Amino acid sequence: MDSLLIYGSYGYVGRLIAEEAIDRGLDPILAGRDRDDLREQVDELGRPGRRFALDDPETVAEAVADVDCVLNCAGPFSNTADSIVEGCLRSGTDYVDVTGEIPVIERIADRDAEAADAGVTLLPAAGFSTIPMDCLAAHLVDRLPDAEHLSLGVDSFRIPSIGTLRTVIEGIEDGGAIRRDGRLEYVPAAWRTRRIDFGRGTRPGVTMPMGDVSTAYYTTDVPNVEVYALMPQPARLALKAHRLGAPLLAPAPVRTALKTLAGIRDGPSERARRRGSAFVWGEARADGDRAVSRLRTPDPYVVTIDGALTTARRVLDGDVEPGYRTPAGAFGSEFVFELDDADGFFDEETPDETSPVSAVLS
């Protein structure tokens, strides 16, 4: 049987993915750097464990040399992905993760040729942070092949997990990001506000530095990409205040303290995950033409668990060419419908140009 190693298997998302992997008969190897947490999980789940740190890529390579695919669930991925990717390239092991961090995705994309030469697939961002919008972007470009601008957005305001909070804090200095004329451009937090009908009425969204700023570009070659998230007014005001506050939060000791405090917050309960949902919207524009489509998905954590394992299974089955790949680039725009309860695409045949969708600077 093909072997899957889950690194960070005892974190909030990693634990849910490990338990689902066992339910799917994947028999994963549990892995991470914390001896006590790993031993406790190994005893609980009755699966083999493997402890190793990420300080030395050669150590990582030796730890994964007998593994067919690593699924990295240990965020912030800015602290883990580079070492694991390097180890996978040295050992010839395929790599999947669930990051939504743009700098991480960009660094992995830069290793495309190296991965292809090594016969290794690198497929980051295989979770909610990318799969639905990446597939929606591909679908929109199928509808409007000459698209020059992509705007994508999500309506799913919910309590984040510990790992998500720590990732946000780790990247607090970066602000926002967009793709302009094919180049990644960093902009202030909440740089642009837009009223969008995500699928349940028009709501305010703001630009966010989500992974699709990178993946949608690599999937579609559309040179201009912006990603929005639903943001109620108090949160929008907080993001705008971040423009002034970020320098105060930037010093490493302050970030460390905030991440420690974030550790007291658990992720959403099983009941909350069952009841949750998300609405995903996208718009493509070219020379006065406009196409709008939408998706509806289960709770973001449910999508991440399902998406990560479905992606890993496809990689283990040899369905992906070596090199850097995006979810829709590897599997096509319909890949999102391989996930349970994803619904769409809901296309607007003649979008109303008078609707309040024009972007305005905040």
CATH class of the domain at 131-299+338-361? alpha beta
92 in Cβ contact with 29 (< 8 Å): no
pLDDT, mean of residues 87-94: 98
Instruction: Provide the H-helix boundaries in 110-232.
Output: 112-118, 131-143, 162-170, 212-220
Give how far the C-alpha of residue 77 lies from the chain's centroid of Cα atoms, to the nearest Å. Answer: 10
Tokens of 160: 């984040």
Per-residue model confidence as pLDDT tens digits over 199-208: 988 988 889 8
pLDDT at 276: 84
Per-residue model confidence as pLDDT tens digits over 46-74: 999 999 999 999 999 999 999 999 999 99
331 in Cβ contact with 276 (< 8 Å): no
Residues 4-127+302-332, CATH architecture: 3-Layer(aba) Sandwich (3.40)
169 in Cβ contact with 179 (< 8 Å): no
63-98 burial code (b ≥16 CB/10 A, e <16)? bbeebbbbbbbbbbbeebbbbbbbbbbbbebbbbbb
> pTM surpassing 0.85?
yes
pLDDT at 321 over 80: yes
Q: Please list the residue range(s) of the chain that carry CATH number 3.40.50.720.
A: 4-127+302-332
Per-residue model confidence as pLDDT tens digits over 166-188: 444 444 456 789 999 999 999 98
pLDDT at 244: 56
Q: Cβ neighbours of residue 100 under 8 Å, at least 6 residues apart?
A: 125, 127, 129, 130, 167, 210, 211
Among residues of the chain, what percentage have pLDDT more than 90? 71
Mean pLDDT (the chain) is: 87
350 in Cβ contact with 289 (< 8 Å): no
